[in-house]
Amino acid sequence: MVLDFDDIALRLGAAAVVGVLIGINRDLQNKPIGARTLGLVGLGTATVAVSGVQFPGLAENPDAASRVVQGIIQGVMAGISFIGAGVILRDAKARTVEGLTTAATVWVTAALGIACGLGEWRSVAIAVPVALVLLMVVPWIESAISKEKKLLE
């Protein structure tokens, strides 16, 4: 499959915008990874996906194309996990772990970047709002549950 310039620009631009949208939430929460970082994660993973699906000869060989896409997804998602792991902090004495949500946003942004790169617009259209609800609405629910739990103690 050979994509034209406009399609590549749309896919890469969408991935960067998705990363920035998720990153804005992290910036507003003063987390270590924000809009620029997640925008770059989305852009980078989309670039890998777009480049992979345009590899010469893949259009004529669907089995090879599926293996390339599978390799892209596995390799990128494993590699991106290392970036996410860098924001996880564990305090054994206090028995706390911080940074898991930020690490998860890196992973989700990478997945969305791949989806944008592959042109899977329905998946992107569903996943972005769900991710934003998880990042913006669920903390309120968690806070309300925590307050209720303290009242019952």
Rounded to an integer, what distance in angstroms lies between the CA atom of residue 52 and that of residue 34? 27
Helix boundaries (H) for 29-96: 35-53, 62-85
- Main-chain dihedrals φ then ψ at residue 138, nearest 5 degrees: -60, -35
Picking from 27-31, 50-54, 105-109, which range would have the lowest pLDDT averaged per residue? 50-54
Average pLDDT over residues 39-68: 83
Whole-number mean pLDDT of the chain? 89
**Which phi-psi region, left, alpha or beta, contains residue 96 (left: φ > 0; alpha: ψ -120 to 50)?**
beta
Look up residue 80 and give its amino acid: I
* Domain ranges (residues) in the chain: 5-152
Q: What is the pLDDT of residues 67-99, one digit of tens each?
A: 878 888 888 888 888 888 888 888 888 888 888
pTM score, whole prediction: 0.82
Rounded to an integer, what distance in angstroms lies between the CA atom of residue 98 and that of residue 63? 42
Rounded to an integer, what distance in angstroms lies between the CA atom of residue 6 and that of residue 144? 46
